Structure 1
């Protein structure tokens, strides 16, 4: 086997190892979702369920009013947080990219530091604050923390895209009679669409997958999102958690993310890579 053969073999082996490492938890949880509660209690080994429950677990989870309410909460909270974060981040990033002022690099550095701040360190203060002002166990009480972490990251991401857009394009649009707002909305924003889409995806993923805020800042199903709601699933026996139902709920909660990635994977890759040349 020559050098090229060894390289191809090594590449194939590496890809196979990465796929197994990444897909093993997914395959395992899907296998659990099709097992009956009795088989899990008895310790049924292996990926393939011996006591196949079919779609009964999925039907039972979907018929659960608590689960449907959690799905509704996650969709509403994630979409609102995404739209608000993208709008504010687009305007702020454009101003940072186009205007020259003292401390601009400091603003971007602070924004990135806030985005990387440990989430768990804010749970205690937010819990006391939200209970005092009446935001505990509400949609707004989760939207604000989500935006606090995703907005700085979105500003950092979008500012790199806006810096790549030539200033002359906006000036040409204004020469043709467009106002500053029209030039920004019809010329600049479409050119920065990959960055805007990337910011929206990052915000939506953060809001949809959050567990810490969701379980700490809610006490009822009024605003509890799906990751936190799954931890409250209990069966008839409090000492034996319905693992198969929880696995089925986790699979259902993952489906929207999988659909988004499959439909928009090209735009996601373009958004994550096109801003990496300059900035």
Structure 2
């Protein structure tokens, strides 16, 4: 009886865990699923609240990429901005995190706390003075007016994550490289940096996604389609015709913007999980 009761409890726990995971999965995927369904509905059916479109149509996707649409240009702008933010944040973040993790100095924890506090600082509080500053410099409607604030928003969290990762790495390997005659820079390039690839890769993906989804700064700094990213372009979509509400085209554009991020995460999920959980080399 005790064995049977134990098996019942084990199967009950497994079923409960699967049910909980299923509910979380449905909760996370339901908005994206509804966005896909809505994007396939023609304008006449957009508000019928059916779970599946009665007459599936690609008319919304045609409107997104149709003549007169600047969506392709917006995709390019988002790619340029997000890639630039990621590269700059990673170059600065790797060196800053390595120094904070490796060097022991007074106020180190205070500096780390400062980085964490910066990541929680509301961006809207500095939007007006930054806009005025960039206006004085003639930077409004330029890439740098969006790249620099995005770096400021993403870098603190990146430094915090990378510092935790570097701190968990076996420093004995660096000491061994130094003993063999390697300089500090050589030990960093040939020993520490290769071992930090999972953590750097994970942080880079998080920074890229954050920059790709940013709207507040981009909406204020970009005033023409020449530099507008996709988040701003979607907000300014019109309908399939001038009398339609733009919900269908917005949903279609949202699908187009979201799918690359989903594919990116699915392709590199093992690296992401490794970077978030390993914190160093495995023994």
Structure 2 residue ranges without an equivalent (≥5): none
Q: Determine if the alignment matches structure 1 residue 193 to structure 2 residue 197.
A: yes
Q: Name the counterpart of 1:21.
A: 27
For residues 222-256 of structure 1, what are the alpha-carbon distances to aligned partners after superposition, in whole Å with 9 as ceiling and x for unaligned?
Answer: 22111111000013766642211111111000111
Q: Name the counterpart of 1:60.
A: 63
Q: How does 1:40-55 map to 2 (within 5 A)?
A: 40=46, 43-53=47-57, 55=58
Q: Determine if the alignment matches structure 1 residue 31 to structure 2 residue 51.
A: no
1:92 deviates by 0.9
Q: Determine the C-alpha separation between the residues in 2 that align with 1:116 and 1:262.
A: 28
- Select 1:105's aligned residue among 86, 105, 109: 109
Q: Determine the C-alpha separation between the residues in 2 that align with 1:3 and 1:83.
A: 50
Q: Name the counterpart of 1:71.
A: 75
- Select 2:232's aligned residue among 228, 238, 244: 228
Name the CA shift for 1:236/1:22 in 2 (closer, same or farther; >3 Å).
closer
For residues 50-78 of structure 1, what are the alpha-carbon distances to aligned partners after superposition, in whole Å with 9 as ceiling and x for unaligned?
Answer: 1321x332233123541011100000110
Name the CA shift for 1:47/1:269 in 2 (closer, same or farther; >3 Å).
same
Q: Name the counterpart of 2:9.
A: 3
Q: Determine if the alignment matches structure 1 residue 89 to structure 2 residue 71.
A: no
1:219 alignment partner, SS class: coil
In the superposition, the TM-score normalised over structure 2's length comes to 0.90
Contact 2:199 2:276 in 1 (8 A): yes
Q: Determine the C-alpha separation between the residues in 1 that align with 2:48 and 2:59.
A: 18
1:101 alignment partner, SS class: coil
2:19 alignment partner, SS class: helix
Q: Name the counterpart of 2:142.
A: 138
For residues 197-243 of structure 1, what are the alpha-carbon distances to aligned partners after superposition, in whole Å with 9 as ceiling and x for unaligned?
Answer: 12201210110011111112211112211111100001376664221
Q: Determine the C-alpha separation between the residues in 1 that align with 2:279 and 2:78.
A: 30
In the superposition, the TM-score normalised over structure 1's length comes to 0.92
